[in-house]
Each structure stands twice: as structure tokens, then as C-alpha cells.
Chains A and B, each alone.
Chain A
């Protein structure tokens, strides 16, 4: 966003992604590789909220909704078409459309921050309750049973476009996930460099001023929110390809987790949420293996601690840190 060209970061992202694709499948066992794919999808999810919250200043408590919609969109479409390539556009369009619709109501209704947080969370919870209640044969979309609490374990993975007989093996799925993560990071960088992205950041800095300068704030917020929904959906699609979709994707645990990744990783950065996602995912996975401790407890403790440990408030502290960083950049 400053005059600095993001070329270096983009190059770094490409190199890291290429290295991960070349090395990890050789050194990791299958189970660990699938886990790495899960981490990559989580990172995409964190990135999506990082854009919406960290740069758009929109506090979305329900990013998990788009994650779940992307996952369910893919699973349902993939079970209905022979060539799973066609499931991809559907899986991305559903969450993006949902984000656009929800964003329209919120931004054009000029709903306050508190309400926005609660509404996004509520939508997610209702999707959770809804998918949980879809057990039984009457709940199917075409050839896809929704499966209630159990989700859809039988989702076919991606295949090469035009080659439905050949589903991709896990190492290829891993490569796809890493490419998607790098692509989302680069897309984020480019968007933030663009005129659109600069206006989005300006709105976060001072919404009223942006409006008095002639920018239709609602449209820009809707734009970044929809982009976030799209990326969240992509994360869900990747998740559906390495685990399977179930109502858990919409759960309070997941929604909270995304918020924590971004908060711990750092608001107003793109790399931060990715790092936060990987670190905390590792922490909760490890906590899940302990017999006596519940991962929810750990996550909740981290969230309360993160909020309390920053005495000036999370957002101002992050903004101040950002400004210090900029000052260093701006110094001759």
C-alpha cells in the first residue's frame, strides 16, 4: 500500500510454494501430507478473513459460513457431475453469492459493527443447525445425500479437467492447495495495490472522510466482503478434498478459530493470518491428542488472553504497530 512494489513478496510466495510442492510430498508420509493440505486450506481461510477484517475493517464473525458453503457446494456438485472440474465454479459461486447477499443487507442497511458481528455469526450458526438436521433420505440434492451430523464422507476428489476417470492422488491435491494458497496471497497483494484496495484501506482508516471525498463506501465494502466469501469458499473446497464436509465446518469452534488466527497473526497483514493459522492449527491438533485437555478450552483461553493482553485494545494496538512499521518504511 505504500509506494513499495510488492514484487519481492510475490516472488517469495512463488518460490516458497514451488519449494513446498517439490519437497514436502517426498519427505512427508501420506497422513502428514494430508494434514499439510488441511493446513494450507486453513491458511487460505485465515487469509480471507485477514483481507475482510484486517484491511476492510469489517468484523465478520461468520467467515466459517463461506468455508462451509464452499465445502458443501463442492461436495454436492461433485456427486452430481461426472467431471469434478465443473464442481469448482459452483463451489466458488455459492459462497461468493452468499457473501454478496449478506453484505448487501449489512452495508446498504448501514448496520453497526456490533450487529454485523452478531448477524454473520448467527447466519453461520443457523447453517450449522440446518446441516445438522439434514439426516435421512429426504435430504438430498440430486445424487448427494446431505447426511446430517455425519456430513458427506463420500465426496469424490478433484480430477484433471476433462478426465473424470482419474481422481487426483493426495500429493496432487496438496500441490493444488499450495498453488491456491500462493495464488490467494498474490491476489490479495495485487488487490491491495490496486485503486480498489487503496480505497478499501482508506475506508477502514476513516469511513466518513472517504464518503465526503465521493466514494460509495457501501460498494467497496461489499466488494471486499464478497472477495472474502469467495476465498473462504475456496478454502472449503480444498478442505472437502482432503478431509470431508460436515456441519462442524459451520461450528462456533471453527468461526472462533478463524478470528483467533487473524488476531494472533496480526491484523493488517496478509502473511500474519497465514502464520497464525498454521501455528494455532498445530496447537489445537496437539491439544486434541492430550487426553485431559479439550481443544475448545485452549482456544478460548488464547482468545481471552489475546484480548486482555493488549491493553489499548486490539485494533488500535495493531494499527499503531502498523504505523510504526510504515514510519520505518517512510523514513528516507
Chain B
């Protein structure tokens, strides 16, 4: 079966720095995948390659088998890939419902568009914020508004960059529930640091280290892997030659 999204030997170099180095990764339809790794491991750069913000130095990105390497951001978004960035990227001057209507990106009639947008807000439990201007919202609310915008066009795949950053324990718990619930309709790739959170959403985990894929396995096995511990504790480890999924 063809993967939903796959990369082949994907590389992104900045001058002499290999931020992403020969990464092979395949995400299946409906999958929930976690990417972990210490800061600077190349996860965010990898995301930016996937969304077309960076043009990879080498390698291929495929969407349902089709080569989309180097395509423009907007074209990739139209294929059905949504991204929630680590620091919410929002339309500060618009209201919440206006933002979601824009995110639907389709030519519905006015009333219809508004109804659909409200349904999305309803689903994320923030229908009460619909008429508020985005700039006035609190941090947690902003996170949810961005998520609503990402979910609105019903993408097949959603990339989530550190969705629990800055959240309390309680909020993290709710986020885990939300992510499992999102996973019923969309494939998800989640960059995360919080191991408890990853256990809670229980998925396949890919570990990045120095721009490469170190391990890819179930949560339990990854957490038991001594190499992963070394990486997180900052011990230097011998990188495998050509590791990958």
C-alpha cells in the first residue's frame, strides 16, 4: 500500500550544518505518529520541508506516491496537509469565526460557510469565542483557534509542532484526548517532548537525533531503548550508518 506521506533520503543543509540528514519516513493513512528528539534534532526543519517553507537540499517528498518535493506551501496545503505551528500563527486582526471561514478555503455561501465554521468551533469547544478578535485571546485559546483553522478544511494529514508547549498538566491531559479524537478523522504527525503525553496518545514513535532518524518503534520499546536515554541525557552516541524507516 502506498503511504500517505513519505520522504526518501530527505536532506536539508544550511551551509555546513546538516539539519535534516537522509531521513526516510512513511506515514500511513489514518496513522498517529510521534516525532521526538532533543532540541536541535531537526524536527522543526523537517516539518518546514514537508510544508514547503524550505526547499530540501536533496531527497524526495511524496504524497500518496506523487512527488511533491519543492512544491509551494499553498499547493501542499491544498493537497490536504495542515500544520499547527509551535507558536500559534494567526490572523491577529480578524475574529475567530472569520479566521475559520477563511481556513475552509471553499466557496460556500455566506451562511453556509459560517455554519460550517461554527461546527468546527463547536467540536473544539470554543464556539463561545467565535466573535472575539484573535489578538485579545489568551495563550491556550489561541492554540485552539489555530487548531480550528487547521482542522477546518478537513485535511488528510495534520502536522502538530509541540502542541503541549506551555500547557499545564491538566491541559496536557485534555490535549491528549483531543488528539486521539482528531486521529479518528485525520492522520497526525506530532512533534513532542513530553513522554507522559506520548504514552497517553500511544503511537509509533520516531526518534530524531542530529538530523537523522535514530529509532522508530512502538512507544514502549522506544522508551526502553538505551540509545534514546543517552540522546536525551546528552551523551554522545555512535550514529548508525543508514538508519531509517
**B13: A residues at CB distance < 8 A:** none
- Assess the B131–A319 pair: CB atoms within 8 A: no
**B77: A residues at CB distance < 8 A:** 211-214
Nearest CB on A from B149, distance (A): 7
Q: Which residue of B lies closest to A219 (CB)?
A: B74
Interface string of B95-116 (1 = CB under 8 A from A): 1001101110101000000000
Interface residue B91 (Cβ < 8 Å from any Cβ of A):
yes
Q: Which residue of B lies closest to A330 (CB)?
A: B131
Interface string of A49-67 (1 = CB under 8 A from B): 0000000000000000000
**B74: A residues at CB distance < 8 A:** 211-217
**B72: A residues at CB distance < 8 A:** 211, 216
**B99: A residues at CB distance < 8 A:** 202
Q: Which residue of A lies closest to B97 (CB)?
A: A3
**A202: B residues at CB distance < 8 A:** 91, 94, 99, 102
**B203: A residues at CB distance < 8 A:** none
Whole-angstrom CA separation of A201 from B91 in the bound complex = 9
- Assess the B92–A205 pair: CB atoms within 8 A: yes
Interface string of A318-332 (1 = CB under 8 A from B): 010011001100101
- Assess the B90–A326 pair: CB atoms within 8 A: no
Q: Which residue of A lies closest to B114 (CB)?
A: A3
Interface centre among B102, B136, B149 (most CB of A within 10 A): B102
Interface residues of A in 298-332 (CB under 8 A from B): 319, 322-323, 326-327, 330, 332
Whole-angstrom CA separation of A195 from B53 in the bound complex = 25
Interface residues of B in 80-99 (CB under 8 A from A): 82-83, 85, 89-95, 98-99
**A319: B residues at CB distance < 8 A:** 92-93
Interface residue B153 (Cβ < 8 Å from any Cβ of A):
yes
**B45: A residues at CB distance < 8 A:** none
- Assess the B73–A205 pair: CB atoms within 8 A: no
Whole-angstrom CA separation of A3 from B150 in the bound complex = 22
Contacts known (A211-B73, A213-B149); A323 close to B135, Cβ less than 8 A:
yes
- Assess the A206–B133 pair: CB atoms within 8 A: no
Interface residue A181 (Cβ < 8 Å from any Cβ of B):
no
Interface residue B139 (Cβ < 8 Å from any Cβ of A):
no
Give the size range of B's interface with the partner.
20 to 34
**B131: A residues at CB distance < 8 A:** 330, 332
Nearest CB on A from B46, distance (A): 16
- Assess the A213–B90 pair: CB atoms within 8 A: no
Contacts known (A205-B92, A205-B93, A216-B72); A199 close to B133, Cβ less than 8 A:
no
Q: Which residue of B lies closest to A199 (CB)?
A: B102
Interface string of A177-205 (1 = CB under 8 A from B): 00000000000000000010011011001
Nearest CB on B from A1, distance (A): 8
Interface centre among A195, A201, A209, A217 (most CB of B within 10 A): A209
- Assess the B93–A213 pair: CB atoms within 8 A: no
Interface residue A26 (Cβ < 8 Å from any Cβ of B):
no
Interface residue B184 (Cβ < 8 Å from any Cβ of A):
no
- Assess the B89–A209 pair: CB atoms within 8 A: yes
Nearest CB on A from B58, distance (A): 22
- Assess the A213–B98 pair: CB atoms within 8 A: no
Which single member of B51, B94, B103, B136 contacts A205 (CB below 8 Å)? B94
Whole-angstrom CA separation of A216 from B103 in the bound complex = 13
Whole-angstrom CA separation of A208 from B91 in the bound complex = 10
- Assess the A322–B95 pair: CB atoms within 8 A: no
Interface residue B132 (Cβ < 8 Å from any Cβ of A):
yes
Interface residue A289 (Cβ < 8 Å from any Cβ of B):
no
Whole-angstrom CA separation of A74 from B133 in the bound complex = 45
Interface residue A2 (Cβ < 8 Å from any Cβ of B):
yes
- Assess the A209–B91 pair: CB atoms within 8 A: yes
Whole-angstrom CA separation of A215 from B91 in the bound complex = 14
Nearest CB on B from A104, distance (A): 16
**B75: A residues at CB distance < 8 A:** 214, 216
Q: Which residue of A lies closest to B88 (CB)?
A: A209
**B135: A residues at CB distance < 8 A:** 323
**A214: B residues at CB distance < 8 A:** 74-75, 77-78, 105, 153
**B89: A residues at CB distance < 8 A:** 206, 208-209, 212
Whole-angstrom CA separation of A323 from B94 in the bound complex = 9
Interface residues of A in 136-173 (CB under 8 A from B): none
Q: Which residue of B lies closest to A319 (CB)?
A: B93
Interface residues of A in 1-35 (CB under 8 A from B): 1-2
**A322: B residues at CB distance < 8 A:** 93
Whole-angstrom CA separation of A205 from B135 in the bound complex = 11
Contacts known (A205-B94, A211-B73, A212-B89); A330 close to B149, Cβ less than 8 A:
no
- Assess the A205–B95 pair: CB atoms within 8 A: no
- Assess the A215–B105 pair: CB atoms within 8 A: yes
Interface string of A209-228 (1 = CB under 8 A from B): 11111111100000000000
The contact sample of 11 A-B pairs, CB cut-off 8 A, is A198-B101, A211-B73, A211-B77, A212-B89, A213-B153, A214-B105, A216-B74, A216-B75, A217-B74, A323-B93, A330-B95
A residues near B (Cβ < 8 Å) are 1-2, 195, 198-199, 201-202, 205-206, 208-217, 319, 322-323, 326-327, 330, 332
Question: Told that A198-B98, A199-B102 touch, could you supply 6 new A-B pairs with CB distance under 8 A?
Answer: A201-B94, A205-B91, A206-B89, A208-B73, A214-B105, A326-B133
Which 7 residue pairs spanning A and B have beta carbons closest together? Answer: A214-B77, A205-B91, A214-B78, A211-B73, A209-B89, A216-B74, A205-B93
